[in-house]
Chains A and B, each alone.
Chain A
Amino acid sequence: MKPQYIIAVIVIAVAVGIIILTAGDASTYVNFGQAQQMAAEGSTTPIHVVGQLKKDEAGQIVGLENSIDKLSFSFILVDDSKKEQKVYYNEPMPPDFLRSEKVVVIGGYQGDQFIAKKILLKCPSKYQEQKLDEGV
């Protein structure tokens, strides 16, 4: 067989492999219920959950706990299906965390705790702002 054909076959195999592995390594957007079920079934792949911070009637954020050494914190996230979940994050609280409208947590369940490996914050963007700055 000519080396060109061997290489062509390898190239196709690598390309197909890339597609399969991409699909395999891709994470998914789920809610906490689904995430818990996945964890119960033994899945350890990190997943994305989109939610909002839990607030009381007055609009105050509740359930926020900062560790004593300020190096980690936990909070309560309400997902799209209104399920509440305590999320633990092993990093200092980002200073703009409380202002965020939407929080995407990436991680998974360990027992009853949801451990976030990464947090993405959706803050009110300046582009969407329709009001002028105060005091101008």
Chain B
Amino acid sequence: MHYFIGNLGHLFVITSMVASLVSAFAYWKNLNVADPLKQDSWRTNGRVAFYIHGIAVLGIAAILYAIIQQHYFEYHYAYSHSSLHLPGQYMISCFWEGQEGSFLLWMFWQAVIGIILIHTQRAWEAPVMIVFALVQAFLASMILGVVIPFADFKIGSSPFILLRDAMSDPIFKINPDFIPKDGHGLNALLQNYWMVIHPPTLFLGFALTLPPFAFCLAGLWQKKYSEWIKPALPWALVGGAILGLGILMGGYWAYETLSFGGYWNWDPVENAVYVPWIILIAAIHVMMLQKNKGTALKTSIILAITVFILILYSTFLTRSGILGDASVHSFTDLGLSGQLLLYLLFFTISSIGLIIIRWKNIPSDEKESSVYSNEFWIFLGATVLCLMGFQVLMPTSIPVYNKIVELFGSHSNLAPPANQIQFYSKFQLWFAVAIALVSGTAQFFWWNKMDKEKLKKELLTPLLVTLVVFALIIAIAKVYEPTYLILTLCGVYLIISNIKFLTVSLKVNPNLSGGAIAHIGVGLMLIGIMFSAGYSKVVSLNNSGLIVNKEMGTEFNRDNLLLFINETKSMAGYDIEYRSENLELRKKKGFVRKNDIDPTSDPYKVVANKNIVYQNKKLYSAKDTFEVYPENTFYEIEMRRNGKVAATLYPRIQINPAMGGFLASPDIKRNFGRDIYTHVSAMMTRDEEPNWGKTEEVKAKIGQQFFVNDYVAVLEKVERVDNIDGVQLDGEDVAVKAKIKLQGEHEVFYAEPIFLIRNRSEVGRIPSEVNDLGVRITLLNIFPQTNEFLLGTNARQKDWVVIKALEKPYINVLWLGTGVLMIGFGIAAWRRIRA
């Protein structure tokens, strides 16, 4: 038992919380003492305390990682999230699989940002750091794990809790020092490189919404009503980029790893981060208006605060367990809901209170902006963004609404919309159209005073180009759906008008190009989303025409397809064939067929029974022993078009009772024009003895051909053997082995049944199975007089798998747009950071 390391970790947790409170207090004193000397020393105290806080946070992270990495399974965190065989790179994902680790990650980023602010923002240091330190204190309290004596009330959930304190397994009563030999393991869906970088990116995005909030509160408090915008804006821009990137990484992970057939599911957990991001984008726009044109100050204040409050609300939704039935992947309640609610309410109420107190003194816009001004269009765009966020926020909050109704003693049975994707898409699509139109148009008002005549002249060329490009796209990609046509048209308009702006701005001042590039990215994303989601096509459509369920009387579209091994089915222009079950190699890149290997006593090691070839490369020779990952089965699915192999896909299945049973991950063949995406939706279990058909007998001589389950078979030879599976036979015993060649669809198989006579009279028969062909052959009898052999053959249902395959056209345009958007954000942020 390693008690010390856990106690040290816990000490760091307590230190981090106390230090952040001390820092907040010291900075508060700094603002409220009159003596300049004392001010200085209080500021130093505040800084030192925040540094101690930062070091403590680092200490917690280092210790938690050490516990995971060293496999100290006496700790609940290591036991629950890791195991001995977990590959090294995923060790780091264990860290944030649990709630405690992800709180820690969030705290870590905010500590880093806080330290940067201490050194760069002297004028704002005290009020901003008070907000920072308070937020950090709340976060530290979430992982505090301290029980208040007498009240029996637990604050926070510590990552350093011992397994015996977390679980009530009877073994701990017998032996309190019991340490499990292996851990529970990391969820297979999280064993993906995106899960190594998505959470840190997302939480960095979360953390980056704090500086604008803190600067805004500091500005209100210190009555510097508009001055806070300048230091806050670069943070907001970087935050917009990182949070957006984090969200899209999550989407990309879902596309690669989950089997719901896309990158965005409008799940409450996804919505909970989508809404703050959308509002953050709106906030960035009005903050830039305020800085450049001096308008929209009140809106900037409200939005900067709203973004952070929404981040807290999203934390509350996903971690309090309130989503319960509504979401497939929210965290389970750790008993922190009260604390989370307090965290949310504390900052909501205090910031709203501060706005109310200061409201009358905040300067309003002096004049109304004209329709022909840049301000008008940017403000309009921000308004559409807010409505866009609001539309998603409302239905996502239905579980909260139900809870509130319950609090008042009534009952509400509202459920989220039954078809989330359809429901949200039908609204968001039109908001996207509006965004494209508004932000495309806004660019024409950038430079100079516009009027009707001038606008007509400016608009003419871009509109014509837009129409030509649009016509080309629909001609090539064959878009006919009216709503998609409108979205495509608006997306193209957005891109073209921004390209025009970009060409002009590059000549004048390249630093100004960030906005235009970002908007081009958005336009590309809209078009990519339109194609990949709107024209996602089921390739595995079952058009056999059978009425499957007679009771129903109606014919269903079957999106799934039953494939028997080595049997080709053709549909949607593809020939699809299920070839084999595979395991992934541990030391080399590639897969090995389960039929080509034999198990050893160590589940992670296997022996090749023939040369292992993958993608025309020989990886191992027969009899080699090598390592594999035994948990995952990969189904080799070959897709051919016009006789040529278009893709060989290996969708994955993990059967893992500890992790909720069945985890399916798709495999994707990426082409520029379209992705082919397939996943397993059902497969056979090998737990039960298969149902063998009636034995058919055949008498054969050496070299004679016969049929087994419609496959051509030849009895090649029969020979005497001295040992069976390495066991030496006794002197009196006689064994013969027949070698039967079977011609499969793609390759030749050999069945080698054994006939055995022991103690002169006892007859034993060891049948031989050919898995791929679903046949079993037994050597039943030998007739030495006629040189004939009696063979018994059985057939069973062949191996099968049920798959679903989708085609996603032009999804790469979405990823391309994402990249362009990030570049645009980067340029814009860099310009503001340098200023």
Contact at A22–B394, with CB atoms within 8 Å? yes
Contact at B394–A126, with CB atoms within 8 Å? no
Determine the chain B residues whose CB is within 8 A of the CB of A99 once the complex forms. 657, 661
Contact at B415–A133, with CB atoms within 8 Å? no
Contact at B413–A133, with CB atoms within 8 Å? no
Nearest-neighbour CB distance to chain B for A50, whole angstroms, equals: 7
Contact at B415–A91, with CB atoms within 8 Å? no
Interface flag for B727 (CB, 8 Å):
no
The answer for the CA separation of A2 and B368 in the assembled complex, in Å, is 9
Give chain B interface residues in 345-371, CB to chain A under 8 Å: 368, 371
The answer for the CA separation of A7 and B658 in the assembled complex, in Å, is 55
Indicate which residue in A4, A19, A123 contacts B660 across the interface (CB closer than 8 Å): A123
Interface flag for B707 (CB, 8 Å):
no
The answer for the CA separation of A92 and B540 in the assembled complex, in Å, is 13
Contact at A70–B182, with CB atoms within 8 Å? no
Give chain A interface residues in 75-130, CB to chain B under 8 Å: 88, 90-96, 99, 104, 106-107, 110, 113, 115, 117-118, 120, 122-123, 125-130
Across the interface, name the chain B residue whose C-beta is closest to A31: B413
Contact at B332–A94, with CB atoms within 8 Å? no
Contact at B180–A28, with CB atoms within 8 Å? no
Interface flag for A18 (CB, 8 Å):
yes
Nearest-neighbour CB distance to chain B for A25, whole angstroms, equals: 5
B556-576 contact mask (Cβ, 8 Å, vs A): 1 or 0? 101111100000000000000
Indicate which residue in A11, A104, A123, A132 contacts B661 across the interface (CB closer than 8 Å): A123
Across the interface, name the chain A residue whose C-beta is closest to B659: A126
Would A95 and B184 be within 8 Å (CB), given that A25-B417, A28-B415, A132-B167 are in contact? no
Contact at B419–A46, with CB atoms within 8 Å? yes
Instruction: Tell which of B328, B418, B560, B800 has the most Cβ of chain A within 10 Å.
Output: B418
Contact at A27–B802, with CB atoms within 8 Å? no
Determine the chain A residues whose CB is within 8 A of the CB of B371 once the complex forms. 3
Determine the chain B residues whose CB is within 8 A of the CB of A118 once the complex forms. 418-419
B394-407 contact mask (Cβ, 8 Å, vs A): 1 or 0? 11001000000000
Q: How many residues of B contact A (CB 8 A)?
A: 58
Give chain A interface residues in 10-52, CB to chain B under 8 Å: 11, 14-15, 18-19, 21-22, 25-30, 45-48, 50
The number of chain A residues touching the other chain, given as a range, is 35 or more
Nearest-neighbour CB distance to chain B for A74, whole angstroms, equals: 8
Determine the chain B residues whose CB is within 8 A of the CB of A29 once the complex forms. 413-415
Determine the chain B residues whose CB is within 8 A of the CB of A2 once the complex forms. 368
The answer for the CA separation of A15 and B427 in the assembled complex, in Å, is 12
Would A92 and B682 be within 8 Å (CB), given that A7-B380, A27-B417, A113-B551 are in contact? yes
Determine the chain B residues whose CB is within 8 A of the CB of A113 once the complex forms. 551-552
Indicate which residue in B168, B417, B662 contacts A26 across the interface (CB closer than 8 Å): B417
The answer for the CA separation of A45 and B415 in the assembled complex, in Å, is 12
Question: Which of B383-391, B528-536, B759-767 touches A?
Answer: B383-391
Nearest-neighbour CB distance to chain A for B632, whole angstroms, equals: 14
Interface flag for B342 (CB, 8 Å):
no
The answer for the CA separation of A70 and B207 in the assembled complex, in Å, is 48
Indicate which residue in A4, A90, A96, A130 contacts B662 across the interface (CB closer than 8 Å): A96
Determine the chain B residues whose CB is within 8 A of the CB of A18 once the complex forms. 387, 390-391, 394, 427
The answer for the CA separation of A11 and B546 in the assembled complex, in Å, is 51
Contact at B661–A96, with CB atoms within 8 Å? yes
Interface flag for B169 (CB, 8 Å):
yes
Contact at B661–A95, with CB atoms within 8 Å? yes
Across the interface, name the chain A residue whose C-beta is closest to B187: A126
Nearest-neighbour CB distance to chain B for A124, whole angstroms, equals: 8
B661-705 contact mask (Cβ, 8 Å, vs A): 1 or 0? 110000000000000000001110100000000000000000000
Indicate which residue in B169, B391, B413, B655 contacts A130 across the interface (CB closer than 8 Å): B169
Nearest-neighbour CB distance to chain B for A64, whole angstroms, equals: 14
Interface flag for B542 (CB, 8 Å):
yes
Give chain B interface residues in 157-187, CB to chain A under 8 Å: 167-169, 171, 180-182, 184
Interface flag for B423 (CB, 8 Å):
yes
Interface flag for B549 (CB, 8 Å):
yes
Across the interface, name the chain B residue whose C-beta is closest to A124: B660
Determine the chain B residues whose CB is within 8 A of the CB of A72 once the complex forms. 548-549, 556, 558
The answer for the CA separation of A106 and B326 in the assembled complex, in Å, is 12
Contact at B415–A14, with CB atoms within 8 Å? no
Would A71 and B562 be within 8 Å (CB), given that A18-B387, A28-B413, A95-B655 are in contact? yes
Determine the chain A residues whose CB is within 8 A of the CB of B802 once the complex forms. 70-71, 92
Nearest-neighbour CB distance to chain B for A102, whole angstroms, equals: 9
The answer for the CA separation of A117 and B419 in the assembled complex, in Å, is 9
Determine the chain A residues whose CB is within 8 A of the CB of B419 once the complex forms. 46, 117-118
Nearest-neighbour CB distance to chain B for A95, whole angstroms, equals: 4
Contact at A132–B180, with CB atoms within 8 Å? yes
Interface flag for B497 (CB, 8 Å):
no
Interface flag for B598 (CB, 8 Å):
no
Nearest-neighbour CB distance to chain A for B575, whole angstroms, equals: 19
Interface flag for B325 (CB, 8 Å):
yes
Interface flag for B416 (CB, 8 Å):
yes
Contact at B394–A19, with CB atoms within 8 Å? yes
The answer for the CA separation of A2 and B558 in the assembled complex, in Å, is 55
Interface flag for B80 (CB, 8 Å):
yes
> Can you list 14 A-B pairs, Cβ within 8 angstroms, ordered by A?
A19-B394, A26-B398, A26-B417, A67-B549, A69-B546, A71-B558, A72-B548, A91-B560, A92-B682, A113-B551, A117-B418, A122-B325, A131-B169, A133-B658
Q: Which A residues are closer than 8 A to B by beta carbons?
A: 2-4, 7, 11, 14-15, 18-19, 21-22, 25-30, 45-48, 50, 67, 69-72, 74, 88, 90-96, 99, 104, 106-107, 110, 113, 115, 117-118, 120, 122-123, 125-133, 136
Top 10 nearest A-B pairs (CB, nearest first) are: A96-B661, A46-B418, A92-B682, A95-B662, A27-B415, A136-B180, A127-B332, A29-B413, A48-B415, A27-B418
Q: Which B residues are closer than 8 A to A by beta carbons?
A: 80, 167-169, 171, 180-182, 184, 325, 328, 332, 368, 371, 376, 380, 383, 387, 390-391, 394-395, 398, 413-419, 423, 427, 542, 546, 548-549, 551-552, 554, 556, 558-562, 655, 657-662, 681-683, 685, 800, 802
Other A-B pairs, 17, CB within 8 Å; known A45-B418, A95-B661, A128-B332: A3-B371, A15-B390, A18-B390, A18-B391, A25-B395, A27-B418, A47-B418, A72-B549, A88-B549, A92-B560, A96-B660, A123-B661, A131-B167, A131-B169, A132-B171, A133-B184, A136-B180
